[in-house]
Amino acid sequence: MEIAKEKDISSRIFTSEKTNVDLNVYVVNDRGIVIYDSFGKYAGQDFSRWNDVYLSLQGKYGARSTRTDKNDPSTSSFYVAAPIYYRNKIIGAVTVIKPKNSISPFMENAKIEIAKMAALVLAMLLGTGFLITFWFTRPISALTEYAENLRLRKKVKLPSLGRSEISILGKSMEKMHIELEGKKYVEEYIQTLTHEIKSPLSSIRAASELLEEGAPENNISRLHTGIQKGIERITEITDRMLSLSLLENQSELSEIENINLSELCLELNEIYKNEAESKNISLAAEIPDNIFCPGDTFLLRQAVENLIRNALNFTESGGFIKISLLRISAEAVISVENSGPGIPEYALDHVFDKFFSLPGPVSGRRSSGLGLPFVKQTAELHGGSASVRNTGSGVIGSITLPVKLKV
């Protein structure tokens, strides 16, 4: 052992450099008396009470850990002993001593490696957990949002849900919604159509009966006019209902093109200028060049026309109408403003309800009440919105459209 300690060695064990032998040994006889020790200071001492010697002399595995300085954990050494046999009889024991501080670098390296491995495993588990969670919850979240939009009566497509059971559930939900909406839609429209055409039909029936009974000559022309207006009223209601019903049953645009909103608004301004002048109404436009929006030209044209016609019906002689177009960030806003008394407070929340209308300030006649609902449906089908509000000196109706379609 002394010779081994005197030798210069150089050996790399993992990341540590080994330059000397730091093992020590001692040998005891069958009574536990030290007969040799590499320390050179324990010979003749009784070690029989030490755990390593005591157990080894009984033929058992003996080990202990003892500090040189009781107050310093770093002075600990590990003692491992084995019995010495001669002719099947224990005649003594040998103990090998290893200082703890010689093992510490390996333990620290092992701790670092274990920590790295644990961190890697944890990261992999978290990543796998996230992927699994995303895989299962994404379609559920998408389906939940789809159901909520259906509840709010928004026009939305069934999202892509892959090929899982969630996809089958989503398709079943879509079919059920279409069937329920179809039944409800027919029921509502039959009721509203019946209600709206009752009045003009009653006028036509009364005028026809008077003509059959032989009305005075001076009343015939008035009765014919009443019948003609009733027919026009029924025609307008059915035509507008047909347009609106076709629009309401669309969940997405069938034809999409890049529309030059600037040209569309300027064109409509020119078309309605003569009608406005005939009513002594000033029609102006504030339209910047080249503002584009993806969508259906026919539907957007009809929607803007409905706003202009609505403004013409509710603007008194001497008033004004202003068509404006504005680009705000990722949205284009088409507005039609008209002077006048404004919309009564009670009616503001109902202007987009089907068949809701107010009497015009000049003629006193009510419209079909389907123009603004058409505007709202068109805006939502394009991923935008519609609004009508009082300005203090009149009313402004707006259509807000995204300049880019949302995917």
Read off the CATH number of the domain in which 77 is found.
3.30.450.20
Helix 165-212 with 100-151: angle, nearest 10 deg: 20
Could you list the residue range(s) of the whole structural domain that residue 324 is in?
257-402
Instruction: Give the C-alpha separation, 136 to 14, whole Å.
Output: 44
Q: Using the predicted structure, report yes or no on whether residue 4 has a pLDDT greater than 60.
A: no
Domain harbouring 268, CATH code? 3.30.565.10
The answer to whether 44 and 37 have CB atoms below 8 angstroms apart is no
Domain harbouring 220, CATH code? 1.10.287
Tell me, yes or no, whether 215 and 286 share the same domain: no
Domain count, the chain: 3
Nearest partner of 147 among 133, 161, 134, 135, judged by Cα = 161
Instruction: Give the C-alpha separation, 64 to 96, whole Å.
Output: 11
Cα separations (Å) of 40 from 43, 101, 308, 324?
Answer: 7, 21, 113, 106
Tell me, yes or no, whether 241 and 271 share the same domain: no
Residue whose structure tokens are 């005197």: 6
In the numeric block, which tokens belong to residue 205? 């029936």
Q: What's the pLDDT score for residue 363? A: 59
Q: Using the predicted structure, report yes or no on whether residue 173 has a pLDDT greater than 80.
A: no
User: What is the CB neighbour count within 10 angstroms for residue 92?
Assistant: 21
Domain termination site, one of 194, 217, 248:
248
Q: Using the predicted structure, report yes or no on whether residue 81 has a pLDDT greater than 90.
A: yes
Residue 149 lies in a domain: no
Cα distance between the two ends of the chain: 80
Instruction: Give the C-alpha separation, 331 to 384, whole Å.
Output: 9
In the numeric block, which tokens belong to residue 142? 């998408």
Residue 150 lies in a domain: no
Tell me, yes or no, whether 274 and 396 share the same domain: yes
| Structure confidence by residue, pLDDT tens digits, 16-75 | 555 556 788 999 999 999 999 888 888 999 999 999 999 999 998 899 988 877 777 777
Number of residues in the chain: 407
Q: Using the predicted structure, report yes or no on whether residue 243 has a pLDDT greater than 70.
A: no
Nearest partner of 321 among 313, 330, 329, judged by Cα = 313
Torsion angle defined by CA atoms of residues 152, 154, 157 and 159, in that order, rounded to the nearest 10 degrees: -40
Tell me, yes or no, whether 340 and 291 share the same domain: yes
In the numeric block, which tokens belong to residue 223? 């009765």
pTM over cut 0.75: no
Nearest partner of 192 among 315, 366, 370, judged by Cα = 370
Tell me, yes or no, whether 277 and 374 share the same domain: yes
pLDDT band at 333; cut points 50, 70, 90: very high
Tell me, yes or no, whether 284 and 325 share the same domain: yes
Q: Averaged over 161-178, what is the pLDDT?
A: 68
In the numeric block, which tokens belong to residue 69? 């300085």
